Structure 1
Amino acid sequence: MGRLVSIFFSVVLLAGCAEDPPIFNEVKHPHEILKAAEVNQYLKIVHHLPEQRLPRLPTLFAPLPEWDLDRELSVKGLVREELKSNESRWFGETTLARLETHRELKRLLKQENMSIEQFLGLAETINMAAARAHFEELDELRSITRNGQHEINELMKREEVFSSLPEPEQYEIIRRAAWVTRVNRAHAMLRVPSENAGLVLKHYDTLKPYLLDEVLHNPLVNIVDSVKHFGLPFEETPSVGFDADLRWSPNDPQAVVGHATEKQIAAFETSAR
């Protein structure tokens, strides 16, 4: 009889656990396949937040490096420091502590049987997929990681103390150190499955109000290397003349309008001799 009572209470206990299962603590990461059900769950939560506004979340990507010119670390040390700062800050203690005080979010998460870490992982995965969705082809991202890694490797060879360098050289090093940020962003987006980007694009209009501002546009646009992309600026001086003083006519047989072909260039050079 005692054994039967024991079995009865065990069954009751298990039944009670089934009604209130423990929170599943597996956290979604941006390189993992995102499911439509997970996107729906995320939308269900954020849609019921006060004013349908997300709590303050970390930035997805680190900013460009900004080093004080009097830094006493070596160039190599500063680059290493920058590499570390570009690591994911999504699950930092400050962020977790702040979300722990968000009562409405915690109530909604409890209803969905989700932890704060799970919510953050889902938010990061969806936002990273939105960033990746700006790139139909991956050649640009691969090129950035390849070329940028070369620049980073070269900077890591520099043992000089940064503050001891001439100011123009310091600014040039800071410009080159921006490759750390570019490579970090490109590498992160390359790891995102194309299926995730497609899923976010499919529901983009619904997701857009709940995406971070930084993923609403191409994350690489505002961090291009202006010197490499646009070339070095130059100064016009009286000794070489000014562009504004140039005179030409489209009727001039030597004038080439639009993009010149190799044949046109060769003909022009022959006539100019």
Structure 2
Amino acid sequence: MVNMNRILSHFRDSMIFYSLSLISFCFNVSCSDNSLDYTELKQINEKVTESELKKYLKVIRLLPQKKVPPFPSVYAPAPNWSHIRSLPIEDLVNSEQINLSQLWEIERISDHFGNRNRTLKKALHRREMSKDQFISITLAIGLAASRHQLREDQNLEAIMQKGNKVIHQLQLDKRPFSSLSLEERHRTLNEAMWIARVNRAEHLIQIPPENVNLVRTHWDELKEVLPPEFLKNPLEDLLDPLEEHGIPFTIDEIDSNDRLQWTSTEAIIGTDPPDPRLDKIK
């Protein structure tokens, strides 16, 4: 009987210990997701304050490389559809737009950023910042840095307006891409480049001027820590020389006048009398 009581007592103590351990585990798990007092993410159209930037840079200074770890790209390249794609052009365009919009999702970036980087996790924990918050500020500051690189003649509203017209025409094209001739495919891909241009412009135009000024003020430090794709003109790799500058006109200066041919039969000769005002100018 004594042994039975001991067994029951031991069993009761074990159950109590197990229950307390389970409660403690559940409490820790629930608290781990809510350990930060402030978990709101920074939107790209929101102002980044000096204090937020300072906290962000403190995280980076704790990292071995003193810069943002490899960051998933948000700037998609121009479409390069294979000549064997049999989908209609309108479907290819719509699919491309969906894929580009997904590149900007915090969840998608988080899945591919810093998952095995213990140093980053420690730095974020030390500065009381979540990984998603770090990503959102990187996007806000990075896009401001990108906009800082734009040329004065690169008007985002004009790019969006022109690009949307071209994209709309592509969305009306029901021809299978594989049915196009080589010249038509080249022209279509050249026009499809506007999908990437407009996507970038739509995000860049949301950046508050205050964020651009903040980047300009701290440029010497930010250019050393931000991902490389934010440190160059975001539209540079999507430029079309003909679109930008037109068809260049060149002529060989050596004996160039000798190559000009003129015949009276092909010349257009005016019959109006000379303007008397020209004599006064002389």
Instruction: Report the TM range for the smaller structure's normalisation.
Output: 0.7 to 0.9
Distance of 1:167 and 1:74 partners within structure 2:
16
* Matching residue within 127, 131, 137 for 1:112: 127
SS of the residue corresponding to residue 223 of structure 2 reads helix
Distance of 2:226 and 2:74 partners within structure 1:
11
Structure 2: gaps of 5 or more residues:
1-30, 259-274, 276-282
C-alpha displacement of 1:233: 7.0
Q: Kindly report which structure 2 residues correspond to 1:7-46, keeping only aligned pairs within 5 A, or say none.
A: 21-46=35-60
The corresponding residue for 1:193 is 208
The corresponding residue for 1:221 is 236
With normalisation by structure 2, the TM-score equals 0.73
C-alpha displacement of 1:131: 1.0
Task: Look at both structures and tell me which one has the larger radius of gyration over its CA atoms.
Answer: 2
Contact 1:130 1:216 (C-alpha < 8 Å) held by counterparts: yes
Note if 1:210 corresponds to 2:220. Answer: no
Structure 1: gaps of 5 or more residues:
1-16, 249-266, 268-273
Contact 2:148 2:216 (C-alpha < 8 Å) held by counterparts: yes
The corresponding residue for 1:161 is 176
Change (3 A) 1:213 1:185: same
Change (3 A) 1:97 1:136: closer
* Matching residue within 85, 89, 109 for 1:71: 85
Contact 1:133 1:201 (C-alpha < 8 Å) held by counterparts: yes
Distance of 2:107 and 2:253 partners within structure 1:
54
User: Percent identity of the aligned residues?
Assistant: 32
Distance of 2:125 and 2:153 partners within structure 1:
39
With normalisation by structure 1, the TM-score equals 0.75
Q: Kindly report which structure 2 residues correspond to 1:140-155, keeping only aligned pairs within 5 A, or say none.
A: 140-155=155-170
Q: How many residues align?
A: 227
Contact 1:60 1:128 (C-alpha < 8 Å) held by counterparts: no
- List per-residue Cα deviations over 1:135-179 (Å, max 9, x = no partner): 486871111011111000010000011001111101110000000
Note if 1:230 corresponds to 2:240. Answer: no
* Matching residue within 170, 173, 176 for 2:191: 176
Q: Kindly report which structure 2 residues correspond to 1:73-112, keeping only aligned pairs within 5 A, or say none.
A: 73-90=87-104, 91-93=106-108, 95-96=110-111, 98-112=113-127
